[in-house]
Chains A and B, each alone.
Chain A
Amino acid sequence: MIRVAIVEDDPVMRGLIADQIEQSDGMTIVGQAGNVADATPMIAAGGYHVLLCDLGLPDGSGIDLIQQEVAFGRDTDILVITVFANQNKVLAAIQAGARGYLLKDERIEECIEAIRNIREGGSPISPIIARQLLGQIRQSAEGASAPSGAGSGLERPQLSTREYEVLNMISRGFSNAECAEIMDISPNTVATHVKNIYRKLEVNSRAEALFEASSHGLLSR
């Protein structure tokens, strides 16, 4: 049984998602919150496998909640609930420790699928986000080759050749299954690579600040 907690400020949306999860096999809702104030004790208490988290909450940011969850170091998978999966939101969430996202308008069966997937290892990633992640890795590599400066204190994501390949193909629009076929590996392996990429891209707050800067085009100049 996959135990799910949900943080979403829109009660209608929250209710819909919760209902669908309750109705599906092998999943149950163990906690619900509509704002940061309610979510904080819920996260402190724990007791769930998957945390679904909206980012724009009335009294704060979902990013802070994700960081709280990550700080406990539990085996929890975090999915961001988003309307568009636009990159600056999702990337920030990934940096904080999220492992993927759910689109709010997604067919509910796909939501359920996504939650199952993430427990099994994989999680979806859009080409534009993959592209942005690649750019960040290149930027870090350039920072590493520079003798000193901003890059020196940063824990740089060091992707393996395979992981880099996967990320590159995803950025060019290939699906996980297509990646698996082209690379002659199983789709599960691709999913594992993707999850590892997420983990490696999770960075500390200092790096996050740098990322914020770079995503606003301040560092790449």
Chain B
Amino acid sequence: MNTRKAGSQTVLVIGGGVGGIRAALDLAESRHSVVLIDKSYAIGGLMTRLDRTFPTNNCDLCTVSPHLSESGRQLRIDLKPMTVVEQVEGVAGDFNVTVKTMPRYIDLDKCTACGECAEKFPDWVRFTPGLDPRAPTCMRYPQATPHAFSVDANKVTDFDALEGVCKVGAIVPDDREKTETLHVAAIVLATGAELFDPAVLDNFGAGKYPNVVTGLEYERIMSASGPTLGQLVRPSDGKRPARVGWIQCVGSRGINRADVPYCSSVCCMYALKEAVVTKERFAEEIETCIFYMDMRTFGKDYERYLTRAVDEYGVRIVRCRPHSVVEEPETGNLSITFATDDDARHKTEVFDMVVLSTGFRIPESSVALANRLGIDLNEHGFAQTSGFAPVATSRPGIFVCGVSESPKDIPETMIQASAAAAMAGAQIYLDENEIEEEEFFPPEQDVSGMPPRVGVFVCDCGSNIGGVITVSRLVEKVRSFPCVAYTEAVGYGCSKESMNRMEALILEHGLNRVVIGGCSPRTHETKFQDMLRRCGLNKYLVEIVNIRDQDTWVHMDRPEDATHKAMKMLEMGVYGVCRAHPLVEHSLPMNKNVLVVGGGVAGMNAALLLAGQGLRVYLVERESRLGGIARNVRATLEGDDVGRYMSDLTAKVQAHQKIQVLLQSIIVDHKGMPGRFTTGIQTGPRMHYMQIEHGVTILATGALAHRPGQYLLGEDDRVLTQLDMDAKIEDDPESVRGMDQVIMIQCVGSREPRNPNCSRICCQSAIKNALRMKALNPEMQIYILNRDIRTYGFQEDYYREARKQGVQFIRYEPDRRPDVRATENGLVVDAYDDILGCRLEISADAVVLSTGLIADDETTEELSVLFHLPRSDDGYFLEDHVKLRPTDMSVRGFFLAGTAHAPKTIRESITQGQSAAGRALTMLAKQWINLGAAVAKVDGAKCSACLICVRACPYNVPFINAEGYSEIDPAKCHGCGICAADCPARAIQLMQYEDDQILAKLDGLFERMN
């Protein structure tokens, strides 16, 4: 491609929410340089404000926060907070972007986030609310990135005083706004959106009645670190509510003033989650009721979540759109008046609290940004993309992900982020011969056999530690511990000055073990490990003793006890580190070939992107031609020509020199480790056996078009599926034009006990076909019998259009399903109409069943056995983390794309195909596979092959080898240590946490006690 000229190697990512962070991390891991800018002073975005996330109801911050600190640490990521784009010039591959950085008045390199400034001048400095117990919306988010304060200069009245309290001299009073020009090859837009402020509506009382809150505010109230410390209480009187009601679609799916017409896609799930968590965490007897229009639980396994919420937790759901909320002034209670489909009379119910489910809005600032970027927005203000290029904006070289593109939840944002990163990375030419950048550490000295010489360095962290205990006294005591060769108080140990001093001392005194008495290893271990490496010591020879977070911060009021405890903790650290030994991080050369299983739209997109990066791709397809299920689709809801797209895509794949297409091929065996797999394939009509060596595997085996034997399908040829109708409209328009009355039935074979999940695609395909049929014959009567219409995002526009054109939507309940009969005069459908309250008998020229997709159970089962991969109950492959790693699988080196993951549209499959390629590139960019060091090791001599470890391992790693003892592949070991703890012969040790290290710590603790 001509864009791949030597030039900028950098990608600019705008927006540091989860999407932007994911994109930046993917790019950095793929050896690209990244500039990540965010207008805020810390990255994290919206997700860090959530309490728990569906569908697991976990607090996922512990999962996302490593991502956040990771992005601060990544060498290739230049993080620029408080920075905005001014102007973009140039073309893809060669952009000049002018960015402006606001003054922070704090030197990021010097600030240690000690908090002295906030302590003295709480109003002048800002920190991510997480650590700030005063902030009304504080969150449990202990790892703000960058880990530094910022100064609100408007509020500072005395900069000298502020400088006076900062012990490390990080205050920069004359900091100025800076403008610079970045030379970048591509741009990823990930600015997200805001949530609608319902105070502009006058009917729900938001901002007027204290007990009316938004979903996000409710989330804060429930949060353990929220303003009420996890007590669920209502704002007006601090009492626990007994009845909480949710109103859905507030400001969304409307045509009134202040409404937006689209669906925000996430609110149904978050309302359900909030209701379930209310029941789960607080009190079963709190009544929860959700007022909704359509329950849109269309994501992977979301329908089950709905079923559980209703059946197990007793969350009540009422289909209606309440008109207003009225407060009873004396009690603060709120009454909601509503009417339901089955009962025309108005009812009024009283709630203690009402939660308004508000959706996404594109802020004005994003529209202005789009103008500066020169990209088109759609009518709703989201970045315009085309049907088959889901992350490409209208300007080549600028890509988009997350809510900037359309409303979506976290997993879909993650998928898109990796796709956008992959597409942006493809703009850059990377020289394959480029030598992997080495981090310049001196060679490691061999300390085995040397007696331990421990250096103990104790931080005072300003007053954080030093204000509670006398560090110099502590240091004196530590000197008497065994093996301690040197001790010193080091002030702020993590500051550059102190690090330099410690490095000099380590060399001067020939120290071979180090204990740092400071803050949490969770945040600072890597920093001190790197310090050791700079001194030629193995990074596993340092122990961080957390005397700040776990001692001085919590025992401020009893300095004597705190000092004693710090001493004990340090003693434990010293004893432990004496038993530490150098660990080798295993590594092996990476095989750069890729195996893609499945030649549908997802597999082909992944293959093309990877082959475009110069990698060899084997594309294995079991059928005799490429295309998969998308080959049977003619048009998308948006009117794009799928047939032409598919033939172009297939031609490109087949012509690509780097892609070897293996048709009529099946996988028969598999072995190896991530980065070095060998897979056996039988290929061609004669089932010729061949072996492929590859580093990663992408699974894109698709799903099956469902054809359940219901409603005369397969018995009467006037009963069709949506897929049949899609083809008929294209291939035989005359026969369709001749139809006067057509009935569609939704959720056939989905959302029922045998296939409990929603097929996601059927509502939009029904509306797509209805609109196309209406175009052929505007007089045609079309009835769509449905349980909910789940036209999420901008699909809602087409739902509205269908209603406008007279398509009739009739609701049915699963216990009163419609019935289809064949008569001499045609088909007759009996359906019960809730609104009319009677049975209808409608004759039809055709009945179209929305049968959706069903997992290809046989294929996924076979492959899951061969590859040792997990599946969900309904036969789809199970991703590693449903929220944050939707494209990665639990076995490293395996990635997942398309409908093998869950039902999705063609566009969504393309996105995940690109996403899988992007995730694969993060691995393939490496020359070596680093297998880490914290792995379990078996002593073969002690092992009696009792199989306990084989059964205990959550990842099925241990096996009994040919020599008859258990073997644990370091490449597959996750390092939990469960096997080590369970082994009755004590034959297994978990490196870094060996038994003698743990016991030594106990010795240190009880040394002087007995």
Binding between chains A and B: no
- Interface of B with A (CB < 8 Å)? none
- Interface of A with B (CB < 8 Å)? none
